[in-house]
């Protein structure tokens, strides 16, 4: 068989070579025979030589060419006979004509009869070159005697370069089996198949799937070996990449800190499809009305793989001991799995829910299940779920709840002290005013004679301050109790002017120069007059106290108000030492103070009051030394 393939290939190459030259030679030969037969006196059947012409044409032309050359030779023989002999030919001459025509006819018939076989030969010869595999023939010394175009493409050596070379030396053949094993297989069955590592002309290593077929001669000795090789280098690279990817996947799969188990959801998919085929479209309602179907669906889900974290989570020693079905360890009444069915039936891409599962020793733990469904038309044979143990989180939430209750109790106790401290701080200014005016009234009454009018005016101020103190207590308690301030339209200028009445004595005592710059047009704001006055008083008293560190002539307090769209910016600026960065960062924190006997509630209460009026209070950036506090409040349009 191998010798036959070699002959076919060689025959095919012969038939493709030099066709034009042979046709020209056939034409010249036919003309020469015609001349000799017509214009010489040879007493022989010269026309028989036309058989050579037909044989030449047979080697190059097809069936039509053979028919054409045969008819042409017959016509040329007949024409030559007619020219030479006419109608007076003798019997011997006619006999030579008959012999010549018979020879031409017989040769043509035989050639046409074998043309079908030659076409098969040509097709088989072309097939060797059309094949994408490398096919070559080796003799008993492993020398290459046939080398197809597939071998040229795969290995890079042209046919003329490869013929006569030792195949194993040329290709650096390294078989997967030892050569002794291959020789034994060829001796037994005449056939071997396996993988070979070879090299191409560029020195690049390739892997081929090789099939060897050995042919023996009549004496049983191996004569040729046909080798057919398929290049599988790319396939082997892909397989190696897949193996590496699988190894990396397995490493990641088993080393993740969260549990992962793998489901086979195909039976569940079939059940959902059957329900949908029955006309069900509302799966949420269906699962709620058919709990038995939900239980059956849960039992259909098989667990095909788990990672090491999942084993530890459910206290299972080895994979072979893990649960086989989902219903064996999913212990919730069915809510989470019913939700999962709805998500899957509605074609969602992901699912997440909490569930309760049973460990191997019977303990029930809460877990968070997260799953991403494969793309549509993708098999649901291996669907992964990520499982997070919520046991520690649940315990932490319980401890946080207990701590929260304890903290609420402590905060209630602390609030009592904070309310008392806040009230004491805010009432301090009115009480100081009461003391001042009461002392003044007593001095007016001690005069001889008593100045009753001045005493009456001083006592009126005592009454005003006392009422203000009561209002302050009421407002502060309401504010700490989160009540809404008593809101009413009021003039900003009036609130500032009335607040100044309570600090006039402090300003005079500490020799502080006062500058007030308010718009001529009254600015109306909405708020609680008492609380806003208390803010202004606190800020002015703080400014007076801060300027004790500077010389008397340099003490100035500036109060200004500037409209800013739908708000008004109120600035309190002093020439004191200002706010160092470490103080500015904590200035509005409750109980933070830089004063030896301070309570640290002034600015904190100011911020609470301003924020209750939908405003803001911040530390400003003064152009020079000193401290600046900026308040912004909404104005009434």
pLDDT reported for residue 624: 55
Are 539 and 604 within one domain?
A: yes
Mean pLDDT across 160-180:
92
Determine the Cα–Cα distance for residues 512 and 533; give it in Å rounded to an integer: 20
pLDDT band at 454 (very low <50, low <70, confident <90, very high): confident
- pLDDT at residue 397 in the model: 76
pLDDT at 423 over 80: no
Query: What's the number of domains the chain is made of?
Result: 5
Residue the block writes with tokens 């006196």: 41
444 with 559, same domain? no
Higher pLDDT, 66 or 598: 66
Strand 513-517 relative to strand 556-564: parallel, antiparallel, unpaired?
A: parallel
pLDDT greater at residue 548 or residue 209: 209
Taking CB atoms within 8 Å and a gap of at least 24, the contacts of 55-59 are 55/107, 55/111, 56/22, 56/23, 56/25, 56/26, 56/29, 57/22, 57/23, 57/26, 58/111, 59/14, 59/15, 59/22
CATH number at residue 175: 3.30.450.20
Beta bridge partners of 197: 174, 207
pLDDT for residue 13 is more than 60: no
> What per-residue confidence (pLDDT) applies to 415?
44
Of the residues 483, 506, 532, the one at which a domain ends:
483
Please check whether residues 108 and 150 belong to one and the same domain.
no
Q: Do 223 and 139 form a contact (C-beta atoms < 8 A)?
A: yes
Q: Establish if 394 belongs to a structural domain.
A: no
- 216 and 289 in a single domain? The answer is no
Q: How far is CA 288 from CA 271, 284, 291, 453, 519, in A?
A: 16, 6, 6, 88, 70
Residues 496 and 627 in one domain: yes
Residue 87: pLDDT band (50, 70, 90) is low
**Considering 434, 453, 483, which residue would you say is the last residue of a domain?**
483
**537 domain residue, yes or no:** yes
Let me know whether 375 and 468 are in one domain.
no
pLDDT at 270: 92
Per-residue pLDDT at 260: 86
Res 386: pLDDT: 87
426 and 380 both lie in a single domain: no
Place 12 in a pLDDT band, splitting at 50, 70 and 90: very low
With a cut of 50, say whether residue 200 has pLDDT above it. Answer: yes
Q: Is residue 249 part of a domain?
A: no
Same domain, 141 and 273: no
Nearest to residue 341, comparing CAs of 291, 277, 406? 291
Q: Does residue 577 sit within a domain?
A: yes
Rounded average pLDDT over 223-238:
90
Alpha-carbon distances, residue 99 vs 39, 49, 90, 96, 180 (angstroms): 20, 11, 14, 5, 63
Does pLDDT of 138 surpass 80? yes
Range of the domain at 441: 408-483
**What dihedral do alpha carbons 20, 23, 25, 27 form, nearest 10°?**
-140
Q: Are 160 and 180 in contact (CB under 8 A)?
A: no
Distance, in Å, from the CA atom of 313 to the CA atom of 330, rounded to the nearest integer, reads 14
Collapsing DSSP states into helix, strand and coil, what is residue 365? strand
CATH number for the domain including 568? Answer: 3.30.565.10
Q: Judge whether 284 lies within some domain.
A: yes
Q: Of the residues 457, 483, 509, which one is the last residue of a structural domain?
A: 483
Residue 401 lies in a domain: no
485 vs 323: which has the higher pLDDT: 323
Residues 554 and 574 in one domain: yes
What does pLDDT average to over the chain? 80
User: Among the ranges 77-86, 474-483, 508-517, which has the highest mean pLDDT value?
Assistant: 508-517
What SS3 state is found at 78?
Answer: helix
Listing DSSP states for 506-573 in one string gives HHHHTT-EEEEE--SSPPEEEE-HHHHHHHHHHHHHHHHHHGGGS-GGG-EEEEEEEEETTEEEEEEE
Q: Is 11 domain-assigned? A: yes
Task: Give the pLDDT confidence score for residue 293 in this predicted structure.
Answer: 92
Among 282, 288, 285, 283, smallest CA distance to 268 is for: 283
Considering the domain boundaries, does residue 215 fall inside one? yes
- For residue 264, list its beta bridge partners: 302
Task: Tell me: do 350 and 449 sit in the same domain.
Answer: no
- Do 177 and 153 fall within a single domain? yes
List the structure tokens of 354: 């909490």
Mean pLDDT of 485-512: 84
CA distance 606 to 588: 8
Mean pLDDT on 371-392 = 83
Query: In sequence order, which residues have a C-beta less than 8 Å from that of residue 211 and are 6 or more positions away?
Result: 191, 192, 193, 227, 228, 229
At 599, the pLDDT band (50, 70, 90 cuts) reads very low
Q: Please say if the pLDDT value at position 529 is more than 90.
A: no
Q: Are residues 230 and 281 in the same domain?
A: no
Q: In the predicted model, is pLDDT for residue 416 greater than 50?
A: no
Higher-scoring residue by pLDDT: 148, 484: 148
**Residue that wins the pLDDT comparison between 286 and 247:** 286
Residue 279, sorted as left (phi over 0), alpha (psi -120 to 50) or beta, turns out to be left
Query: Is 556:515 a contact under the CB 8 Å cutoff?
Result: yes
The model carries a pTM of 0.38
Distances (CA, A) of 529 to 203, 219, 406, 413, 468: 97, 128, 38, 30, 11
Percent of the chain with pLDDT over 70: 81
């Amino acid at each position: 068989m191998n010798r036959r393939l070699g002959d076919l290939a060689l025959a095919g190459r012969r038939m493709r070579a030099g066709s034009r030259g042979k046709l020209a030679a056939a034409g010249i030969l036919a003309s020469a025979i015609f001349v000799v037969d017509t214009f010489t006196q040879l007493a022989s059947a010269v026309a028989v030589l036309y058989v050579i012409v037909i044989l030449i044409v047979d080697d190059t032309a097809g069936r039509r060419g053979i028919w054409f050359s045969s008819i042409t030779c017959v016509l040329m023989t007949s024409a030559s006979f007619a020219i030479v002999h006419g109608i007076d030919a003798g019997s011997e001459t006619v006999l030579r004509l008959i012999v010549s025509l018979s020879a031409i006819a017989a040769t043509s018939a035989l050639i046409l009869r074998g043309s079908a076989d030659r076409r098969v030969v040509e097709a088989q010869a072309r097939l060797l070159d059309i094949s994408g595999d490398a096919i070559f023939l080796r003799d008993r010394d492993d020398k290459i005697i046939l080398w197809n175009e597939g071998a040229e493409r795969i290995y890079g050596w042209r046919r003329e370069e490869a013929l006569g070379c030792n195949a194993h030396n040329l290709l650096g053949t390294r078989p997967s089996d030892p050569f002794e094993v291959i020789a034994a297989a060829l001796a037994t069955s005449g056939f071997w198949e396996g993988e070979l590592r070879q090299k191409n002309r560029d020195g690049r290593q390739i892997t081929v799937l090789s099939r060897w077929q050995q042919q023996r001669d009549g004496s049983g000795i191996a004569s040729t070996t046909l080798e057919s090789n398929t290049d599988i280098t790319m396939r082997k690279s892909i397989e190696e990449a897949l193996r590496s990817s699988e190894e990396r996947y397995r490493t990641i799969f088993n080393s993740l800190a969260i549990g992962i188990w793998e489901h086979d959801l195909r039976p569940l998919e079939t059940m959902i499809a059957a329900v949908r085929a029955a006309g069900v479209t509302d799966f949420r309602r269906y699962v709620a009305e058919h709990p038995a179907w939900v239980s059956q669906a849960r039992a259909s889900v098989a667990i095909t793989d788990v990672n090491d974290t999942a084993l530890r989570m459910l206290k299972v020693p080895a994979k072979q001991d893990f649960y086989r079905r989902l219903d064996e360890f999913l212990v919730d009444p069915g809510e989470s799995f019913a939700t999962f069915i709805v998500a899957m039936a509605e074609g969602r891409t992901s699912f997440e829910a909490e569930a309760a599962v049973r460990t191997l020793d019977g303990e029930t733990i809460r877990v968070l299940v997260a799953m991403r469904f494969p793309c549509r038309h993708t098999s649901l044979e291996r669907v992964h779920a990520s499982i997070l143990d919520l046991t520690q989180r649940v315990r932490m939430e319980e401890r946080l709840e207990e701590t929260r209750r304890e903290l609420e109790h402590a905060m209630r106790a602390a609030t009592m002290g904070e309310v008392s401290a806040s009230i004491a701080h805010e009432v301090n200014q009115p009480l100081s005013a009461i003391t001042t005016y009461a002392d003044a009234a007593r001095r007016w009454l001690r005069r001889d004679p008593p100045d009753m009018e001045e005493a009456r005016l001083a006592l009126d101020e005592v009454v005003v301050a006392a009422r203000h103190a009561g209002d302050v207590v009421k407002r502060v308690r309401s504010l700490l109790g989160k009540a809404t301030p008593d809101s009413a339209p009021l003039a900003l200028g009036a609130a500032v002017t009335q607040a100044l009445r309570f600090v006039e004595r402090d300003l005079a005592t500490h020799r502080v120069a006062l500058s007030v710059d308010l718009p001529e047009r009254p600015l109306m704001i909405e708020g609680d007059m008492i609380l806003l006055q208390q803010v202004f008083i606190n800020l002015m008293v703080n400014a007076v106290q801060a300027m004790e560190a500077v010389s008397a002539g340099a003490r100035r307090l500036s109060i200004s108000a500037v409209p800013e769209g739908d708000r008004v910016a109120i600035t309190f600026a002093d020439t004191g030492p200002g706010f160092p960065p470490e103080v500015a960062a904590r200035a509005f924190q409750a109980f933070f103070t830089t004063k030896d006997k301070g309570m640290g509630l002034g600015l904190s209460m100011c911020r609470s009051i301003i924020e209750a009026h939908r405003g803001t209070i911040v530390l400003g950036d003064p152009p020079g030394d000193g401290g600046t506090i900026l308040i912004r409040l909404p104005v009434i349009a």
